[in-house]
Structure 1
Amino acid sequence: MIRRLLWIGLLATLAAGLVGAARQRREVVHPGSATRPPTSPPPRQGPLGRRLSAWVPAPPRTRLGRVAAFVWASPLTAVGLLVALVSGGRPRWQPQYGCFVTEGVRGPSAAALRIVGAQANAIGHVVLSREGTSAPALLAHEAVHVRQAERLGPLLFPLYLWLSARYGYRHHPIEQAARLGARRATGPGSGG
């Protein structure tokens, strides 16, 4: 019985991911495209959505905190490193972002990013970017996702998929927080 419920939960989460990817593809405006995404009012966010949309975690301050965060996010980071290597990239540690950055990814990873209209994504402590040289604002955005992965670990993936199905990309609380964090990091007077 428990095994059946786990399979149902897994399939439902994957279906939510497909719904979210389809919503993101519809919402993203592609450069040079004459079509605009539909302008609909943002869906109402409950207390959790509102809290997540403002959640920009700071990097861990202590050595023990950094080790614990890295270990907790390590299942995602392992997947991210594997995807980076399969995508023909060389992950390089970027201390200012606290993660590995892999630029110029190719193959299935680049195709998946292109399909949903994204320039980059973070998987654990690994940022995968289609660009040969990523803009600081893009890396600051993805660094927020890295910090979120440090706090949520493997729970980030299903949570992200379910919220994606519910809110799409533009109104996704985790994405709103990443945009907020990028603005803080690269805005006037930030030095970034």
Structure 2
Amino acid sequence: MRSSRSLASRIVVYSWAAPTTMVGLIAGGLTLATGGRSRVREGALEFHGGFATWMARGLGFGAMTLGHVILGYDGWWLDVLRPHEQVHVRQAERWGIAFLPAYLVASVLAWGAGNHYYHDNWFERDARARSGEREGPGAT
């Protein structure tokens, strides 16, 4: 979390993103209950191992953000993908309760336009651009 934010503004931002974060906390609880681990990095709770690894393997991701919770396949993936996932944390802070529905709508719109539901999702393109990832063939 940016240190320049006041305590009051941080409370507002965390509260606004809380509905999405709650979904992440459920997954985080399942991760801890199944032998996973947690840590705090840059204002977000990161979980890996156990349920998070099972979910990452099943859905095919290295890391996924749900509000102020980031689920990762393992600690290495969390470290590598942190800049990208932190952009999603900021997106959840801006969009609040609408983040998950808006993300799904962006996927449907990309797919409906004949593009890739994930790679061409506006939120993913924004996260790649803001985290300094390159676009185009071979980019993830």
Question: Where on the TM-score scale, by shorter chain, does this alignment land: which range?
Answer: 0.7 to 0.9
Report SS of the residue matched to 1:65: helix
Contact 1:69 1:150 in 2 (8 A): yes
Q: How many residues align?
A: 123
Which of 99, 111, 130 is matched with 2:73 structurally?
130
TM-superposition CA deviations, 1:78-128 (whole Å, max 9, x none): 22112112023333221xx22111122x23x43443333211101110000
Query: Tell me, which stretches of 5 or more residues in structure 2 are unaligned?
Result: 111-116, 134-140
With a CA cutoff of 8 Å and minimum separation of 6, indicate the structure with the bigger relative contact order: 1
Report SS of the residue matched to 1:169: coil
Question: Residue in 2 aligned with 1:90?
Answer: 37
Instruction: Pick the structure with more strand per residue.
Output: 2
Contact 2:68 2:89 in 1 (8 A): yes
Equivalent-residue separation in structure 1 for 2:78 and 2:17 (angstroms):
24
TM-score in terms of structure 1 length: 0.57
Kindly report structure 1 stretches of 4+ aligned residues shifted beyond 6 Å: none
Query: Tell me, which stretches of 5 or more residues in structure 1 are unaligned?
Result: 1-57, 185-192
* Aligned residues: CA RMSD: 2.2
Which has the higher Rg, Structure 1 or Structure 2?
A: 1
TM-score in terms of structure 2 length: 0.76
